[in-house]
Structure formats: C-alpha cells, structure tokens
C-alpha cells in the first residue's frame, strides 16, 4: 500500500467517525481518462474531504505556503499535491497541471482560488478554463454542501462531466469556460442545499 492510499484510509476513518458525510454522484466520475475536478471551497478541510470521497486519486494544486510549513512541506508532496504561486501566473504549476491531465490522471482545483469566507460561491479564476480548453480531459463539477462541525452533516456532490466539445471547437476564452464550470457547481449547490 502506498502512502497516498494509507493516508486516505486514515483520514477517511477520522472524518467518517466525526461527521456524517454523504457522497452523491460518484457514478458520474469517469473511471479512465484525465479528469479536471472543480469544486467550491468553503473550508481548509475541503481538499482532504474531496480526496477521500473521489473514486480516484486526486492531484491537488495547493498554495505554495503549504510547501514551506515545517511538517507539511514533507507531507503534502506525498499526497500528490503540487505548489502554485497565488496572485500571479505560475507557468511551472500550469505545466504540471497539464501533464497530470495528459497522463490520464485527476487534477483537483478550487477555481475560486481561495476559500469563501461567507460560504457563498465566489468568482472562478481563469485557470480552470485554461486546463479545460488545453486538454481533452473530462471536466467534473463538485459541490461541498453543509458545515464542518462535529457530528454535522456534509454532502459531497459530483456532477456529470460538463460537455466541452463546443467550447473547445469555437475556441472560447478561459474566463468563459470557467464561468460555465462555476455555473454547474452553483446548480449542484442549489439542488443539494
């Protein structure tokens, strides 16, 4: 058993013991091919929650600061995460994300770029649209609905892959495609609230 699988099982045990997590729509998740997994971001615990509920291993793009923290700098890379510099165009992170998708793996993103202080869905950054347009990966929207509290209820909802053929053919802008992805996440939130 590799470290990622071991950590996933440990974290799953902890979370499912302390909270009621309902996972909806796992059947929509493609079993092969690259997947761009885009979720809303309401809490610092979102990455592990998405990581333990997704049916495949997820490579998360994570803020660079995590890779400089004393304990986390050794742990986070083993969890298939890679750094991104926030607030600027990070070419190395973009190249790494494209490579993950082209290798047929799952790239996890929180398109808002930071967690929502209010719980409301914010505006998505163009990075999600960039990855969706530059690869033939399936784009899967995900919504985290509920509150993180002891013995609380949380839903993780995976939507059907968003059709991208038309947007790719007409060379839509990254911003336009990100907005399309955010609308799908918004609909999942509204439907499961």
The whole-number pLDDT of residue 115 equals 87
157-185 tens-digit pLDDT: 999 999 999 999 999 999 999 999 999 99
Read off the pLDDT of each residue in 70-89 and give the average, rounded to a whole number: 80
The whole-number pLDDT of residue 66 equals 82
Those residues whose C-beta lies under 8 Å from the C-beta of residue 30, and which sit 6 or more positions away, are: 138, 140, 161
Could you give the strand order of the β-sheet that contains 106-109, starting from the edge strand earlier in sequence?
20-24, 153-158, 138-146, 35-39, 106-109, 58-63, 82-84
Considering only residues 29 and 149, tell me which one the structure prediction assigns the higher pLDDT.
29
The whole-number pLDDT of residue 46 equals 95
- Percent of all residues in the chain with a pLDDT value above 70, rounded to a whole number: 99
Distance CA 174, CA 17 (A): 40
Look at residue 97 and tell me whether its pLDDT is greater than 80: yes
Read off the pLDDT of each residue in 81-97 and give the average, rounded to a whole number: 84
The whole-number pLDDT of residue 87 equals 63
Look at residue 190 and tell me whether its pLDDT is greater than 90: yes
Look at residue 38 and tell me whether its pLDDT is greater than 70: yes
Tell me how far CA of residue 60 lies from CA of 48, 63, 82, 122, in angstroms. 10, 10, 6, 19
111-144 tens-digit pLDDT: 998 888 888 899 999 999 999 999 999 999 999 9
The reported pTM is 0.93
Distance CA 62, CA 72 (A): 12
Considering only residues 119 and 44, tell me which one the structure prediction assigns the higher pLDDT.
44
Read off the pLDDT of each residue in 24-49 and give the average, rounded to a whole number: 95
Which domains are seen in the chain, by residue range?
A: 3-192 (3.40.1130.10)
- Percent of all residues in the chain with a pLDDT value above 90, rounded to a whole number: 65
């Amino acid at each position: 058993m590799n470290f990622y699988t071991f950590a996933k099982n440990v974290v799953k045990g902890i979370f499912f013991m302390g909270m009621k997590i309902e996972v909806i729509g796992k059947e929509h998740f493609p079993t092969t091919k690259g997947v761009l997994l885009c979720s809303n971001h309401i809490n610092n615990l979102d990455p592990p929650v998405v990581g333990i509920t997704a049916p495949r291993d997820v490579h998360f793009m994570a803020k660079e600061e995590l890779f400089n923290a004393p304990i986390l700098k050794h742990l986070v890379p083993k969890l298939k995460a890679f750094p991104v510099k926030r607030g600027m165009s990070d070419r190395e992170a973009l190249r790494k994300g494209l490579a993950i998708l082209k290798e047929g793996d799952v790239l996890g993103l929180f398109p808002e770029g930071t967690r929502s202080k209010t719980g409301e869905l914010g505006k998505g950054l163009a990075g999600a649209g960039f990855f969706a347009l530059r690869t033939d990966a399936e784009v899967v929207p995900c919504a985290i609905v509920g509150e993180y509290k002891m013995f609380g209820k949380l839903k993780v909802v995976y939507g059907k892959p968003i059709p991208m053929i038309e947007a790719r053919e007409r060379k839509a802008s990254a911003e336009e495609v990100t907005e399309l992805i955010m609308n799908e996440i918004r609909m999942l939130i509204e439907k499961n609230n």
